[in-house]
Chains A and B, each alone.
Chain A
């Protein structure tokens, strides 16, 4: 992280967005000085494909808005910038829904907190990641706050596409559209920032197909690489209906294991923290009564944890399904002889085999099957059933 001269340095291959945001930060400076504040506004919507760095862009923008040192770019070195980037700045409210959706109660609370004046005298920024997870009622509760916030409040919403939000919210925001970062820029980032060796960085960047976060994970986490290799090995192994069932069961197991690995330690920690907060294990007058009250809170916590686990599982399925879709996209590219970058080039033998054994039509049908499976899992179909239907369709072609 050394040698940073601006908080915007972390945005990979997003030059036009950086220009737009810099202009806005300059405008914000004028606004604070009592000027018209041209280029700045109170509500922003960051959109872009997964992994293009929506949240990073919003965070960098927030840091630049709060930075007292270098008011037009955000220095990235002062205390304020560090606080914003680390998620501890007192005037930046971070909202990151951990469950499948974000409800209206939490939204109302958020609106209330967003209305207070900034403590540091610059801006009060609300950074709402995955704003598309807000329910319809929650979105409606946001409307008024986003349209006419208190003078120094700035809303930064992040969604994959502008269509994911209510049209009434969309029309109240200025749009910041990030593009899929080019592979070269992602490789540079991995090599320069994370010290990954260039060969591995290139492979990870290709595999992630523009998803910076995924590229970082693939480049730095061997377990993630293994899981991806296992998923990509599925198409070549589908030689019968029995194998279809086994492959679906394996995908299911992988997701369960992933969710468990991520949440197990966290769940226990949270539970014992909550119990401690209610005074379990201590002695004295009134403790028994307080501990009794913990049961309800504990139940709420477990409910939340379950929702979080569901979301992690869904995200894991989604990752696996996107890898599969990428594989068949590459199969199609091989079949029609397109000269494009193959994101699953490492599995060339499988690609060639599947490509020569099927027609482009059946490849398209297979991609459809993968997408149908994603839609089904999102519609709450039991993941194993959805994936069995998918592997069977992949097998049939």
Chain B
């Protein structure tokens, strides 16, 4: 969308990523302003919308001024108001530019469909769910500022800041202001360190692979970002369960059943088998006992859940290669 072209008279912004929604709306408003600097902008939250207000902002004006009407959260509009908006869609007014912001999802979908049918320009602002999409977003942020970023730097930034786009965008702006030239991993490392989002699963994976230092580091990050100890332990339990299933599989059980018993998708069996190298049945049995002990320690039998988990990581990793 460049602000040079004329903005469409009717647009829908669909998605739940606030940053992208705000940007899309701002761009539309900016485009309208570029055409006519004195344009009236009505930015309305669902709570501010009444039938009277709608009529007021969408009725033809006496002197033909242009207006921009932004309706936020249209999925939350009541039935009557939604009908009112739908009614307007069938008979739009020339000098009104209407922007409907919809969070996506099934709620209030009828209104969305009606708008698209009436020829609305649709702008998608869904939350990026894959890390590739987030990397793409980061690269986009830097190129908007006219800067380049190396792939490892983008990944490091993503690890350190997390998944919230607003925070990512802020971090990008800050980096652009603080550094010069191409942004590389060293530049990122200078301002950002650590892990914003660690899950118990990473801890569990490192533990059963016997990599104690990494596992302990991950565990500390994990506790520091507020993951519940019980969840970390259940991740450990899951990893150990997976080992138990593939280390000594039941006879005559097909792959799909194995995956089900280990509670992993079938393609993950391969990873599990890799992890299970070096594990003896005795070691697995010991690890299972440690997990159960730790669950009790976390749930009140011990004093300090963090200590119980550290002990579990060390003991389980130590049970590997046990003969």
A95 partner residues in chain B, CB cutoff 8 A:
none
B153 adjacent to chain A (CB < 8 Å): no
Q: Shortest CB–CB separation between residue B266 and chain A, in angstroms?
A: 16
Q: Mark B284-323, 1 if CB is under 8 A from A, else 0.
A: 1100110111011001110000000000000000000000
8 A Cβ contacts from A190-249 to B: 239-246, 249
A242 partner residues in chain B, CB cutoff 8 A:
244-250, 253, 258, 261
Whether B292 pairs with A389 at a CB distance below 8 angstroms is: yes
B203 adjacent to chain A (CB < 8 Å): no
Whether B296 pairs with A388 at a CB distance below 8 angstroms is: no
State the majority secondary structure of interface residues on A: helix
State the majority secondary structure of interface residues on B: helix
The complex places the Cα of A249 from the Cα of B253 at a distance, in Å, of 15
Q: Knowing A379-B299, A380-B299, A392-B285 touch, does A241 contact B292 (C-beta < 8 A)?
A: no
The complex places the Cα of A384 from the Cα of B243 at a distance, in Å, of 16
Q: Mark A376-397, 1 if CB is under 8 A from B, else 0.
A: 1001111011101110110110
Q: Shortest CB–CB separation between residue A219 and chain B, in angstroms?
A: 34
The complex places the Cα of A87 from the Cα of B273 at a distance, in Å, of 59
Q: Shortest CB–CB separation between residue A102 and chain B, in angstroms?
A: 20
Q: A245-B241, A392-B284 are in contact. List 16 more A-B contacts (CB 8 A).
A: A240-B249, A243-B248, A244-B244, A244-B285, A244-B288, A376-B292, A376-B296, A379-B299, A379-B300, A380-B300, A384-B237, A385-B295, A388-B292, A389-B293, A393-B289, A395-B285
A382 partner residues in chain B, CB cutoff 8 A:
234, 237, 295
The complex places the Cα of A249 from the Cα of B262 at a distance, in Å, of 10
A243 partner residues in chain B, CB cutoff 8 A:
248, 250
B261: which of A245, A376, A379 is its contact (CB, 8 Å)?
A245
Residue of A241, A382, A390, A392 most packed against chain B (CB within 10 A): A241
Please name 28 pairs of A and B residues whose Cβ atoms are closer than 8 Å in the assembled complex, sorted by A. Answer: A239-B250, A240-B281, A241-B248, A241-B284, A242-B244, A242-B250, A242-B261, A244-B285, A244-B288, A245-B241, A245-B244, A245-B245, A245-B261, A246-B261, A249-B261, A379-B296, A380-B299, A380-B300, A381-B299, A384-B237, A385-B237, A385-B291, A388-B237, A389-B289, A389-B293, A392-B284, A392-B289, A396-B281
A379 partner residues in chain B, CB cutoff 8 A:
296, 299-301
8 A Cβ contacts from A342-397 to B: 373, 376, 379-382, 384-386, 388-390, 392-393, 395-396
Q: Please report A residues at the B interface, Cβ cutoff 8 Å.
A: 239-246, 249, 373, 376, 379-382, 384-386, 388-390, 392-393, 395-396
B277 partner residues in chain A, CB cutoff 8 A:
none
Q: Shortest CB–CB separation between residue B47 and chain A, in angstroms?
A: 23
B282 adjacent to chain A (CB < 8 Å): yes
Q: Shortest CB–CB separation between residue B75 and chain A, in angstroms?
A: 24
A386 partner residues in chain B, CB cutoff 8 A:
292, 295
The complex places the Cα of A239 from the Cα of B251 at a distance, in Å, of 9
With both beta carbons as reference points, the residue of chain A lying nearest to B253 in the complex is identified as A242
Whether A241 pairs with B300 at a CB distance below 8 angstroms is: no
Whether A396 pairs with B295 at a CB distance below 8 angstroms is: no
A245 partner residues in chain B, CB cutoff 8 A:
241, 244-245, 261-262
A240: which of B234, B241, B248 is its contact (CB, 8 Å)?
B248
With both beta carbons as reference points, the residue of chain B lying nearest to A382 in the complex is identified as B295
B237 partner residues in chain A, CB cutoff 8 A:
382, 384-385, 388
B300 partner residues in chain A, CB cutoff 8 A:
379-380
Whether A241 pairs with B247 at a CB distance below 8 angstroms is: yes
Whether A246 pairs with B250 at a CB distance below 8 angstroms is: yes
The complex places the Cα of A384 from the Cα of B288 at a distance, in Å, of 11
Residue of A384, A388, A390 most packed against chain B (CB within 10 A): A388
Whether A241 pairs with B295 at a CB distance below 8 angstroms is: no
Q: Shortest CB–CB separation between residue A392 and chain B, in angstroms?
A: 4
Whether B292 pairs with A381 at a CB distance below 8 angstroms is: yes
Q: Mark B209-237, 1 if CB is under 8 A from A, else 0.
A: 00000000000000000000000001001
Whether A385 pairs with B244 at a CB distance below 8 angstroms is: no
Q: Shortest CB–CB separation between residue A256 and chain B, in angstroms?
A: 15
The complex places the Cα of A239 from the Cα of B249 at a distance, in Å, of 9
Q: Shortest CB–CB separation between residue A358 and chain B, in angstroms?
A: 15
A239 partner residues in chain B, CB cutoff 8 A:
250-251
Q: Shortest CB–CB separation between residue B238 and chain A, in angstroms?
A: 10
Whether B250 pairs with A240 at a CB distance below 8 angstroms is: yes
The complex places the Cα of A376 from the Cα of B298 at a distance, in Å, of 12
Q: Mark B243-275, 1 if CB is under 8 A from A, else 0.
A: 111111111010000100110000000000000
